[in-house]
Amino acid sequence: MLTYLQIRDFVLIDNVELELGPGLTVLTGETGAGKSMLVDALGLVRGDRAEPRQIRAGCDRAEVTAEFDLDGLAPPRAWLEKQDLADDGQCLVRRVVARTGRSRAFINGTPVTLQDLKGLGEQLADIHGQHDHQSLLRAESQRRMLDAWGRNGPYADRVAAAYRAWSEAESARAALATDQARHSERRALLRFQLDELNTLAPQPGEFAALEVDHRRLAHADELVATLGTLCDTLYEADEGSVHDRLGRATRELAELQSLDPTLAAHVETLEEALIRVSESASGLRHCADRIDLDPERLAQVERRLEVLHETARKYRVPPDELPQLHASLVQELGDDEDPDAHLARLTEAAAAAAQEYHRAAAELSQHRATASAA
């Protein structure tokens, strides 16, 4: 129900405010008193076309504000809730028309499009006149009233749901049909890339291990020489090795234990150090013996690293991520079904959805015919 109407700078109206109560309200007046201007202003908040000539002379804009009480009006309340514009059962509509011809619309303080305003306005107020557009003449309104009379709501809902399902299925089918050529090109590219990576066969952790091998092989001579020197220094020198000098110090300190028993702990520490030096020297010698001085092995590692680097640059990924890329290609091609089979399946689904829609529509038509004849 319309409860409040304010009109500012509209045609000949400066500023008018109307507060309307329950029941019938009648505005009377002689011809030319301005009754039609009120109706035209109300039409603006219903979404009617706005024109600059409707602005009062000397003003930059016209403004119409209408407030509606939606108590008992389920359709507009549902519309507002769907658009996230609901405001506790009230609806405040404002329309502003500028001299430039541009108009703006607001519902409960939120800007909306003219199409949205029209969709709500037609549910809020109906203007009846000798030459005015009447909702009773619209097929949509006639169907809505017929369905309400015949209690056809559930049948209409089934038709709407079936139509949405058909539309979605047909959209999916059309999208795949349009994209099929591009899809085939994509699969061909993926197969080529997969064949290349199958030949390369990158393994998880391979790149990091190859880098370690390359550093060791490239500096093998330096490593062997330095490790040999360290082994001599620690243990194998004929005179003055760390092990020999530490051994002498341990023996001399052990002889002093009889004079000062507190030295026993230090003797144990030196004995442990002797063991550690011996173990370290043995470990370093083992490391030196393991170093491969084979130039062919170094060349092999360098060739493998070069291939991995080139492939990684080609696919724009770090070299150590080539195994993950390989696995993702395998999965993508494995998960992607044949496009022809996929299209056939979607075509069948669209046909089934269309059949269900036509069945539901025929059922609704039959119930409407029955209701109209009652």
pLDDT of 36 > 80? The answer is: yes
- Indicate if 344 and 240 belong to the same structural domain: yes
Range of the domain at 262: 138-374
In three-state secondary structure terms, 13 is strand
- Indicate if 303 and 321 belong to the same structural domain: yes
pLDDT of 136 > 70? The answer is: no
- Indicate if 252 and 356 belong to the same structural domain: yes
CA distance 161 to 311: 51
Confidence of residue 130 (pLDDT cuts 50, 70, 90): low
Question: What DSSP assignment string belongs to 272-329?
Answer: HHHHHHHHHHHHHHHHHHH----HHHHHHHHHHHHHHHHHHHHHTS-GGGHHHHHHHH
- Indicate if 115 and 149 belong to the same structural domain: no
CA distance 338 to 351: 20
More confident residue, 373 or 322: 322
Confidence of residue 123 (pLDDT cuts 50, 70, 90): confident
pLDDT at 124: 86
- Indicate if 25 and 166 belong to the same structural domain: no
pLDDT at 127: 72
What average pLDDT does this structure show over 149-166? Answer: 90
- Indicate if 189 and 174 belong to the same structural domain: yes
Looking at 48-52, 147-151, 192-196, which range is the least confident one?
147-151
Q: Considering 68, 102, 136, which residue would you say is the last residue of a domain?
A: 136
pLDDT at 338: 65
pLDDT at 137: 67
CATH of the domain at 15: 3.40.50.300
pLDDT of 52 > 70? The answer is: yes
- Indicate if 129 and 166 belong to the same structural domain: no
- Indicate if 128 and 155 belong to the same structural domain: no
Question: What DSSP assignment string belongs to 75-133?
Answer: HHHHHHHHTT--BTTEEEEEEEEETTS-EEEEETTEEE-HHHHHHHHHHH-----SSS-
pLDDT of 55 > 60? The answer is: yes
Confidence of residue 303 (pLDDT cuts 50, 70, 90): very high
Confidence of residue 311 (pLDDT cuts 50, 70, 90): very high
Q: How many domains are contained in the chain? A: 2
Share of the chain above pLDDT 70, in %: 94
Q: Considering 136, 151, 183, which residue would you say is the last residue of a domain?
A: 136
Listed residue (52, 39, 36) closest to 96, CA to CA: 52
In the chain, DSSP finds a helix count (H) and a strand count (E) of: 12, 6
- Indicate if 282 and 245 belong to the same structural domain: yes
Q: Considering 136, 165, 198, which residue would you say is the last residue of a domain?
A: 136
pLDDT at 179: 76
- Indicate if 181 and 329 belong to the same structural domain: yes
**pTM for this structure?**
0.40
pLDDT of 227 > 90? The answer is: no
pLDDT of 309 > 80? The answer is: yes
- Indicate if 267 and 322 belong to the same structural domain: yes
- Indicate if 92 and 228 belong to the same structural domain: no
